[in-house]
A and B are shown apart, each in its own frame.
Chain A
Amino acid sequence: MAGLNKVVSSYEEALKGLSNDMTIMVGGFGLCGIPEGLINQMVNMGVKGLTAISNNAGVDDFGLGLLLKHHQIATMIASYVGENATFEQQMLSGELNVILTPQGTLAEKIRAGGAGIPAFFTATGYGTPIADGKETREIKGRHYVLEESLSADFALVRAWKADTMGNLVFRKTAANFNPMMATAGKITVVEAEFIVEPGELDPDHIHTPGIYVNRVIQGSFEKRIEQRTVKAAK
């Protein structure tokens, strides 16, 4: 690594310093837009006791499900975890601590974490079990819940294109949680489908400026589809 060139050549290097009991953010919505190679590398490293922040928990044999299968996650912060039998088992047995968070609140907690905002008021969850034990306030006649922001030791992000300086472009709905997470990691690691030279991305079209990004690795992706739905060809 030299200057602003953030490209690393191995997954070992990409996740160097990631250790037991750390908090990690992992981009993706279901299996769409997940950093597949970085997840696999955490399995290979065998890190344990992780607090994982991700909208979902993958499926049994793919995505974050792989970390669950190897009992590497102690706490999971997510909005919906319905697709994973391993998850259910570990949650019911008490092995896994689960903090369910409304999806929009989760996204905003991460955005706020990256933007230096320690907490914010939202109407989401007022009067529900989510608000239990949290400060509430009435502002202009409406009730709000105080939600604290989230940040992580490592944010693992999947991008479509990255330049070597870490400027990022996401593709379609594979963006999802990735752009906010890129801002909220002490160390942000990007697994990209394509790495290009600086200047090749139009500065007007960059979704995430490189200032947020520490490492970039060339990935290769299976892109497994969770719910394959098609209409008949005409």
Chain B
Amino acid sequence: MALSREQLAQRVAKELKDGYYVNLGIGIPTLVANYIPSGMEVMLQSENGLLGMGEFPTEDTIDPDLINAGKQTVTAVKGASFFSSAESFAMIRGGHVDLTVLGAFEVDVNGSIASWMIPGKLIKGMGGAMDLVAGAENIIVTMMHADKYGNSKLLSVCELPLTGYGCIKRVVTDLAFIEIKDGAFHLLERAPGVSVDEIVSKTAGKLIMPEHVPEMTF
């Protein structure tokens, strides 16, 4: 079975480490916050100027001056800090954020990512995505392995305009955990019950796999 959005987030959460500063993008990446292992201290960075993002407020603690990068009202945890957008992207560009998780339309075997623009469709802007992929050393992309017609989103060369060139090393899809290195996708794990054949058939770019591909655990 392909992973649900929640399972995908759960698998990504296994990559968190105690003491990490983490930036979570909009969509599935946001859900990762729900699966931070108990007892682990992780600070969430929101690029609009918040380090230490907490959960959503209650009706009576809502504060219009406190939002996340998705413009949702949030809270700040104990030990949080606020700062300007310039400071925020200094953290990001300067490589101070330990892990960045974000979504994508396509990735390719060279680690390039397309996530912001589909020609012919209305362009809304890249927001902070280009800075995040250029600045972070440790990025996990979460995405569907193929579109609803079965067309692969893991390509030899991205077809859509890029968000970043050669910057992605790990991808978690609804079917597989994949590492990108030496110009190829390397299959590390498969979703429970998903066959290697299915992953092969839905991966357009060069795919290298070991003899035995373990199933993901959560």
Chain A interface residues toward B at CB < 8 A: 29-33, 55, 78-83, 88, 92, 100, 102-108, 110-111, 122-130, 143, 160, 170-180, 207, 223-234
Query: In the complex, which residues of chain B have a beta carbon less than 8 angstroms from the beta carbon of A31?
Result: 64, 71
B173 contacts chain A at the CB level, 8 A cutoff: no
Cβ-Cβ contact count across A and B, 8 Å cutoff: 177
Query: In the complex, which residues of chain A have a beta carbon less than 8 angstroms from the beta carbon of B112?
Result: 127
B80-88, B191-199, B207-215 - the one binding chain A: B80-88
Q: How far is the CA of A32 from the CA of B130 in the complex (A)?
A: 22
B22 contacts chain A at the CB level, 8 A cutoff: no
Q: In the complex, are the beta carbons of A108 and B86 less than 8 A apart? A: yes
Q: How far is the CA of A180 from the CA of B84 in the complex (A)?
A: 8
What sequence of 0s and 1s flags, for each residue 37-73 of chain B, a beta carbon within 8 Å of any chain A beta carbon?
0000000001111100001111110111111111111
Contact of A173 with B73 at beta-carbon distance under 8 Å, contacts A79-B128, A104-B128, A107-B89 already known: no
Chain B interface residues toward A at CB < 8 A: 46-50, 55-60, 62-74, 76, 82-86, 88-89, 92-93, 112, 117, 122-131, 134-135, 161-166
Q: Which residue of A lies closest to B127 (CB)?
A: A80
Query: In the complex, which residues of chain B have a beta carbon less than 8 angstroms from the beta carbon of A180?
Result: 84-86
Contact of A174 with B73 at beta-carbon distance under 8 Å, contacts A81-B124, A122-B134, A124-B131 already known: no
Query: In the complex, which residues of chain A have a beta carbon less than 8 angstroms from the beta carbon of B128?
Result: 79, 102-104
Q: How far is the CA of A111 from the CA of B64 in the complex (A)?
A: 25
Q: How far is the CA of A123 from the CA of B131 in the complex (A)?
A: 8
Q: In the complex, are the beta carbons of B65 and A171 less than 8 A apart? A: yes
Q: How far is the CA of A81 from the CA of B126 in the complex (A)?
A: 9
Contact of B82 among A81, A111, A173 (CB under 8 A): A173
Query: In the complex, which residues of chain B have a beta carbon less than 8 angstroms from the beta carbon of A172?
Result: 50, 63, 65-66, 76, 82
Of B59, B68, B128, B164, the most chain A CB neighbours within 10 A belong to B128
Q: How far is the CA of A20 from the CA of B50 in the complex (A)?
A: 36
Contact of A231 with B135 at beta-carbon distance under 8 Å, contacts A100-B126, A178-B84 already known: no
Q: Is the interface of B mostly helix, strand, loop or mixed?
A: loop
Q: How far is the CA of A189 from the CA of B122 in the complex (A)?
A: 34
Chain A nearest Cβ from B133, distance in angstroms: 8
Q: How far is the CA of A180 from the CA of B88 in the complex (A)?
A: 12
Q: How far is the CA of A129 from the CA of B71 in the complex (A)?
A: 26
Chain B nearest Cβ from A160, distance in angstroms: 8
Q: How far is the CA of A174 from the CA of B64 in the complex (A)?
A: 8
Contact of A227 among B46, B49, B72 (CB under 8 A): B72
Q: How far is the CA of A171 from the CA of B82 in the complex (A)?
A: 8
Query: In the complex, which residues of chain A have a beta carbon less than 8 angstroms from the beta carbon of B67?
Result: 29-30, 32, 173, 225-227
Kindly list 10 other residue pairs between chains A and B, CB separation below 8 angstroms, not including A83-B71, A172-B50: A104-B135, A107-B88, A127-B165, A128-B164, A129-B162, A143-B165, A173-B46, A174-B65, A207-B84, A226-B71
Q: In the complex, are the beta carbons of B89 and A128 less than 8 A apart? A: no
10 contacts between A and B (CB under 8 A): A32-B71, A81-B124, A100-B123, A102-B127, A108-B89, A173-B68, A175-B84, A229-B72, A231-B55, A231-B58
Query: In the complex, which residues of chain B have a beta carbon less than 8 angstroms from the beta carbon of A122?
Result: 93, 134
Q: In the complex, are the beta carbons of B72 and A92 less than 8 A apart? A: no
Query: In the complex, which residues of chain A have a beta carbon less than 8 angstroms from the beta carbon of B129?
Result: 102
Q: Which residue of A lies closest to B110 (CB)?
A: A127
Query: In the complex, which residues of chain A have a beta carbon less than 8 angstroms from the beta carbon of B134?
Result: 122-126
Chain B nearest Cβ from A34, distance in angstroms: 11
Chain B nearest Cβ from A129, distance in angstroms: 5
